[in-house]
Amino acid sequence: MNRVELELYLNDTLQIGQFRDYCPNGLQVEGRGEIRKIASGVSASLAFLEAARDWGADAVLVHHGYFWKNEDARITGMKRRRLGVLIDNDISLFAFHLPLDAHPEFGNNAQLGKSLGFADDGGRFGPDQLGWLGAPEQPMTLAALASHVEARLGRTPLMLGEPGREVRRVAWCTGGAQGFFEAAIAAGADVYISGEVSEPTTHLARESGVGYLAAGHHATERGGARALGEHVAARFGLEHRFFDIPNPV
């Protein structure tokens, strides 16, 4: 398909104009005009780009792209090597940050909830209403939920809170959204799941009585780019492959 056609479809599907983000969303690096093979991944790291190049990708689709606010604008070192792979091989880079977190079907939060079997009750919280609320398939303890998350994501979460606390209402937001914890508590959650954790998170969990699971930034955000890549491949007859570059964080 034509690159511009894909760009317009992705921008419209993810409603990128609705978000004030930390980076540009959409086409970040322009490659060849015709796209037959598209690779998806969490981050546009050098390892991911080289894997996509070796597979023969015409375009790559990621959650974490480039050109973040306040980063060094010079094209040197790591940035030069990454951009070199894209430009030298005429590969387009599509990147979607907050829009891919928020999308109700292909988004990271939607995909995490689906993977963990949470019933989405329609509740939202936090900036841009990015946080989701729902319930596990049946009430369980915080410790049991932590074990369930580990089994589904393949990574042991850091658990803060009383292991025996009963969990009926779950709040979650993927990635580095530990700053939403207070909003999740105010929304009535028994536990909040995100990717990362900060020093104050421990005290907030202890003093509020609400559990917290830090399940990994990468682990919680594997779903969005993959789901979106599968969708556009099926819709437009493209070949798609998801490359999961290991990341313990």
Same domain, 73 and 139: no
Tens of pLDDT, residue by residue, the chain (249 residues): 999 999 999 999 999 999 999 999 999 999 999 999 999 999 999 999 999 999 999 999 999 999 999 999 999 999 999 999 999 999 999 999 999 999 999 999 999 999 999 999 999 999 999 999 999 999 999 999 999 999 999 999 999 999 999 999 999 999 999 999 999 999 999 999 999 999 999 999 999 999 999 999 999 999 999 999 999 999 999 999 999 999 999
**229 located within any domain:** no
Kindly state whether residues 144 and 168 are assigned to the same domain. Answer: yes
221 is in an annotated binding site: yes
Q: Is 187:162 a contact under the CB 8 Å cutoff?
A: no
244 belongs to an annotated ligand binding site? no
How far apart, in Å, are the Cα atoms of 37 and each of 27, 152, 188? Answer: 16, 29, 44
Domain at 97, CATH number: 3.40.1390.30
Residue 203 is labelled as binding a ligand: no
Do both 11 and 72 map to the same domain? yes
In a domain, 21, yes or no: yes
Question: 191-194 and 211-214: which strand pairing?
Answer: parallel
What pLDDT was estimated at residue 190? 98
Contact yes or no for 235/38 (Cβ under 8 A): no
The per-residue pLDDT for 171 is 98
In a domain, 192, yes or no: yes
| 211: region left, alpha or beta (phi > 0 left; psi from -120 to 50 alpha) | beta
Answer with the one of 70, 101, 132 that is the final residue of a domain.
101
Same-domain pairing of 54 and 129:
no
Query: For residue 2, what is the DSSP state?
Result: B
- 22 and 91 part of one domain: yes
Q: Is 166 annotated as a binding residue?
A: no
The structure tokens listed for 46 are 């050098």
Could you tell me if 142 and 200 lie in one domain? yes
Expressed as residue numbers, the domain containing 21 is: 3-101
User: How much is the pTM?
Assistant: 0.96
**72 labelled as ligand-binding?**
no
Domain count within the chain: 2
